[in-house]
Chains A and B, each alone.
Chain A
Amino acid sequence: MNEARQKFSLEFMRIVVVIVLALLLGFVITAMVSSDPVDAYRELLTGPLPKITINDNGDWQLRGINRFGNWLEDSITLTLLGLSIAIVFKARQFSLGAEGQLTLGALGAGIVSLYIPAPFVIHIGLALLVAGFFGYIWGLIPGALKAYLNADEIVSTLMLNIIAIQLYQFILTRYLKDPTAGYVGTEFFPESAILPVVIPGTRVTIALFIAIIAIVAVWFLMSRTPLGYEIRMLGANRRFAEYGGINAKRVIALSMGLSGILAGLAGAHLSMGLLKQLTLTLSPNIGFEGIVVAMLARNDPKFVPVAALFYGYLRTGAQIMERSSDVTREMVLVIQAIIILFITAERIVPLVQGWWLHRQSPEAILDSAEAKG
């Protein structure tokens, strides 16, 4: 137990160091292009927080609640996508298919919202169900191809992304588009299919609770159910898992299908919560963002919301920075890339440790070895 805790705190330190390092590098890069890099970075790092202003009469006023809302909205999307990737990573599989699953999830939610009339609660439930189901199917396909035919899941998920996006755009422009609108998009969804807002003045809807339920559900699945155990065993050692009687093929296919459900729900959150309609592009390149969240959380569902809130904070801060300075929001992608590179670099810690020990005197090494022993 003690060892596990030590390992945990080492991991935690490592992630914190990587984040600080990435933010510092980001600042250096910002300083190279910006006329006022300090101001730009202040916007990035404090922008999403609501601000309390107190006037002369002592009355206080809360401002920037919509920015705060943007942060939470984005974090909900990122939580669902992060959970989706975490399941696949836990099974030691790879999936780049979240974009397609999310797109079809949004499509399913949109079709139910627009064409299947139902009373309030049932309408939302049905739309969410269909969104999750579409995501499940789009995750199960590459999963089954990988499991039973050994077809490379990277290529298949990338191809399924293209197919899903084209299918979405085809159905949208051909059948769902509002002909009176001046752009490619559907009518707004009926009231009964729009997720109710829980924080007034923002677009933070009951998707917040969906995300929380999803966290608990994935945690429960992974640590309290036979399937979760099988997924973890498969990820730890496939041969051993098979030797222990686990049907590895079934587990691979199911883990990718389950991950699709969560990405599909993220699509429902985008369409039924944020956009309230279907538009030609939903949220470009959001599909890969779940990967950095899952990596920061070390694929542990408990930490996914923490990682999502952190990364969502950066993404929202970047948008605010873009509006109020001369630095574009793509800055945050550079930071993201640095984070992914350094977290995946497994051998960095032993390398740094070795270098550190090498610099110390032999006595110091002996002392520390004795202290450990």
Chain B
Amino acid sequence: MTFETVLASIFSAAFIATIIRASTPIILPAMGGLISELAGVINIALEGIMLTAAFFGVVVGALGPEWLPGLPVWVYPWLGALVGVLAGLILTLIIAFFHLELGADVILAALAINILASGGTVFIMFALTGDKGSTSTLASPAMPSIIIPFVGSIPVVGQIFNGENLTGYNIITYAAFLSVALVWLFLYRTRLGTHLRAVGENPVAAASVGIDVKRVQYIALLMSGFLAALGGINLSMGYLTLFQTNMTAGRGYIALAAVFLGNRNPLGTLIAALIFGAAGALEAQLGTLNIPSQLITMIPPIVTIAALVIYNVRRQAQMAANARKFQEKMESEHKVV
């Protein structure tokens, strides 16, 4: 493939569709990570929660007809998604309980959950299918796709809104973009959201004005688990329609990076997640150009570290400026007196 054809394929509607699809399983856990981070209980188990939800979604979706025969066919993927999300929530509850009730370090507890998820999914998959690599022997369903009517016939717009083959995006992709708006509304337009940010900013101060810190952190963790689980469902019942060992491949950690790169707010996090999604899509495109994919994969983490540095340098400069202003003010007042 020549450089021009690759370039043309990058600046095309189809490529935008690829980015949207690749970003979905980053946007959802990133929104979850944002909520937990703002509540002061950073959830580094997004990875394990996604993996577990992806696994149980596939297993229940595929074996549902065997276990609960007679339901309409469309019910089974939803049943799978439901069980997947529940599994993710149970794992999150374990973290929340161990951290908030038993005094466990939130990072170590979450790390344990990641380890549990990566081992547990393979362990159960082998017991069920005799395969350690993937559930390819199971016929697992996908969550439905939504096709927006009428736009399909419009050349570029149709591809952007309904995917490059005009088959529509998975319903979870819509959920992902919707979640950004909902998380924004929740954080900045509800009482609980305000409390949540207050708890993250200073738990002692929040408690002193009567906010139930523990309850808020429970809620924040469970919301992050819910959103991460949806991301996992998207991976195994949308992006692909099977479960593979360690199929999240670090997306949970990338999502966490998106929170920091996105300056800890919903819109910034969305943009960061889209950048990471684009880098993933670009990797596949440039592979045909003999540009080493490893160099492309390195870009998002380098950008994240650079963003961390810039953010903190600016913050320090700001704090120094504030301190100087305060000092000058004090001095000038002193002179007056």
> Which chain A residue shows the least CB distance to B47?
A158
Looking at the complex, which one of A152, A327, A328, A333 makes contact with B116 (CB distance below 8 Å)?
A333
Q: Does A341 contact B (CB under 8 A)?
A: yes
Q: Does B101 contact A (CB under 8 A)?
A: yes
What's the least CB distance linking A163 to chain B, in Å?
A: 5
Q: Is the CB of A33 within 8 A of B98?
A: no
A29–B292 alpha-carbon span in the complex (Å): 43
A156–B257 alpha-carbon span in the complex (Å): 9
> Which chain A residue shows the least CB distance to B42?
A154
Q: Does B294 contact A (CB under 8 A)?
A: yes
What's the least CB distance linking A167 to chain B, in Å?
A: 7
Set of chain A residues within 8 Å of B118, measured between Cβ atoms: 285, 330, 333
Indicate with 1 or 0, residue by residue over B38-49, a CB within 8 angstroms of chain A CB atoms: 000010100000
Looking at the complex, which one of A150, A158, A288, A345 makes contact with B256 (CB distance below 8 Å)?
A158
Looking at the complex, which one of A151, A330, A334, A340 makes contact with B111 (CB distance below 8 Å)?
A340
Looking at the complex, which one of A156, A170, A328, A334 makes contact with B308 (CB distance below 8 Å)?
A156
A337–B292 alpha-carbon span in the complex (Å): 36
Q: Does B309 contact A (CB under 8 A)?
A: yes
Set of chain B residues within 8 Å of A29, measured between Cβ atoms: 123
Q: Does A66 contact B (CB under 8 A)?
A: no
Which bracket fits the contact residues of B?
35 or more
Q: Is the CB of A149 within 8 A of B309?
A: yes
A348–B119 alpha-carbon span in the complex (Å): 25
Indicate with 1 or 0, residue by residue over A40-73, a CB within 8 angstroms of chain B CB atoms: 0000000000000000000000000000000000
Q: Does B304 contact A (CB under 8 A)?
A: yes
A336–B312 alpha-carbon span in the complex (Å): 36
Known interface pairs A154-B42, A154-B44, A345-B103. Does A159 touch B304 (Cβ–Cβ under 8 Å)? yes
Set of chain A residues within 8 Å of B154, measured between Cβ atoms: none
Which bracket fits the contact residues of A?
35 or more
Set of chain A residues within 8 Å of B42, measured between Cβ atoms: 154
Q: Does B305 contact A (CB under 8 A)?
A: yes
Segment from B9-17, B80-88, B157-165, B295-303 that makes contact with A: B295-303
Q: Is the CB of B126 within 8 A of A348?
A: no
Known interface pairs A328-B123, A328-B126. Does A344 touch B115 (Cβ–Cβ under 8 Å)? no
Q: Is the CB of A333 within 8 A of B119?
A: yes
Looking at the complex, which one of A96, A156, A344 makes contact with B109 (CB distance below 8 Å)?
A344
Looking at the complex, which one of A162, A332, A346 makes contact with B301 (CB distance below 8 Å)?
A162
Indicate with 1 or 0, residue by residue over A153-188, a CB within 8 angstroms of chain B CB atoms: 011101110110011011001100000000000000
Known interface pairs A160-B305, A334-B123. Does A166 touch B104 (Cβ–Cβ under 8 Å)? no
Set of chain A residues within 8 Å of B126, measured between Cβ atoms: 328, 330
Set of chain A residues within 8 Å of B250, measured between Cβ atoms: 162
Q: Does A303 contact B (CB under 8 A)?
A: no
Indicate with 1 or 0, residue by residue over B277-308, a CB within 8 angstroms of chain A CB atoms: 00000000000000010110110011011001
Looking at the complex, which one of A291, A330, A332, A348 makes contact with B108 (CB distance below 8 Å)?
A291
What's the least CB distance linking B315 to chain A, in Å?
A: 8
Q: Is the CB of A341 within 8 A of B109?
A: yes
Q: Does A214 contact B (CB under 8 A)?
A: no
Looking at the complex, which one of B112, B123, B256, B311 makes contact with A340 (CB distance below 8 Å)?
B112
> Which chain B residue shows the least CB distance to A341?
B112
Q: Does B267 contact A (CB under 8 A)?
A: no
Q: Does B113 contact A (CB under 8 A)?
A: yes
Q: Does B243 contact A (CB under 8 A)?
A: no
Q: Is the CB of A162 within 8 A of B116?
A: no
What's the least CB distance linking B217 to chain A, in Å?
A: 16
Indicate with 1 or 0, residue by residue over A329-373, a CB within 8 angstroms of chain B CB atoms: 011111011101100111110010000000000000000000000
Q: Is the CB of A291 within 8 A of B111?
A: yes
Known interface pairs A33-B123, A162-B250, A344-B108. Does A336 touch B115 (Cβ–Cβ under 8 Å)? yes
Set of chain B residues within 8 Å of A345, measured between Cβ atoms: 98, 102-104, 109
Can you give 22 A-B contacts (C-beta < 8 A)? A29-B123, A149-B316, A151-B305, A155-B256, A159-B301, A162-B297, A162-B298, A166-B294, A170-B295, A285-B118, A291-B108, A334-B123, A336-B112, A337-B113, A340-B111, A340-B115, A341-B94, A341-B104, A341-B109, A344-B109, A345-B104, A347-B103
Residues of B within 8 A of A (CB): 42, 44, 94, 98, 101-105, 107-109, 111-116, 118-120, 122-124, 126-127, 132, 250, 253, 256-257, 260, 292, 294-295, 297-298, 301-302, 304-305, 308-309, 311-313, 315-316
* Given pairs A333-B118, A341-B94, 14 additional interface contacts (CB within 8 A): A33-B127, A150-B312, A151-B308, A154-B107, A155-B256, A158-B253, A166-B294, A170-B292, A173-B294, A285-B118, A328-B132, A337-B112, A337-B116, A344-B109
Please provide the 8 A-B residue pairs with the shortest distance between their CB atoms, ordered closest to farther. Answer: A333-B119, A347-B103, A337-B116, A159-B301, A33-B127, A345-B102, A170-B294, A340-B112
Residues of A within 8 A of B (CB): 29, 33, 94, 96, 145, 149-152, 154-156, 158-160, 162-163, 166-167, 169-170, 173-174, 285, 288, 291, 295, 327-328, 330-334, 336-338, 340-341, 344-348, 351
